Amino acid sequence: MADGVARSTTCRLAPQILLATTNAGKVREIRAVLGDLGWELKAQSEFADIPNVEEDGATYAVNAFKKAMALASRIGCPALGDDSGLEVDALSGAPGLYSARFAGPRATDGENRRLLLERLTGVPVSRRAARFRCVMALVSPEGGSRVVEGVIEGRIAERETGVGGFGYDPIFEVPDRGVTFAELPPDENNPISHRGRALALVRAMLIAEPAWWQPARE
């Protein structure tokens, strides 16, 4: 427990928000939006011996809160967790909660994309509507929380294009741009993405309630 006490003390000396993810792409996006607000943003991977939380909740919100609360209670700092997914109308909302493991528990992003395109073989453009949804939970070590959601509507392209982003970005087309997320530069992608929209709400909360997210001082 000494390590936990030391970490909690460190959080009180230097305000931090822990990022309950090991996904480097997500960490980059979060830091790009929240990095100028005065909190040190520390990814879960920067701490030793932090087990991954099983994302077995029935909703994105449950998974986001579960991940954030596990890290906040262990380290003693506020934590931000998220869960997101791609919902395809022609597949009755799949892959949804299972987006990261659509092609199997250890599937790569490429394998997930290939399976999704296979499932949509023969489906016309008019029926390829889809959306990215991101739910974020900002949690204090004492158990307080705020939950926000960001959504962007689009459609699934017929083939992969672009080299940017990660996950399903190369096959998610933004209709009013005529390109996939993977073709957009980060400064255009981040503000309109599902995660970017959720992060904008998190940013507003941190600005409006800065003291609420400071660890209690002894």
5's tokens = 């006490």
Please provide the distance, in angstroms rounded to a whole number, between the alpha carbons at the two ends of the chain: 18
Radius of gyration over alpha carbons of the chain, in Å?
18
Pairing of strands 179-180, 16-19: unpaired
Give the amino acid at 54: E
Q: Which of the residues 83, 89, 109, 176 is marked catalytic?
A: 83
The distance of Cα 58 from the centroid of its chain, to the nearest Å, equals 17
176 is catalytic: no
Strand order across the 16-19 sheet: 40-43, 16-19, 79-88, 129-139, 145-156, 172-174, 179-180
- Class of residue 186 by CB neighbours under 10 A (exposed 0-12, middle 13-18, buried 19+): middle
Element (H, E) at 215: none
79's tokens = 């934590």
26 φ/ψ angles, rounded to the nearest 5 degrees: -65, -40
Residue 148 to residue 161: CA distance in whole angstroms: 30
Q: Which residues are catalytic?
A: 83
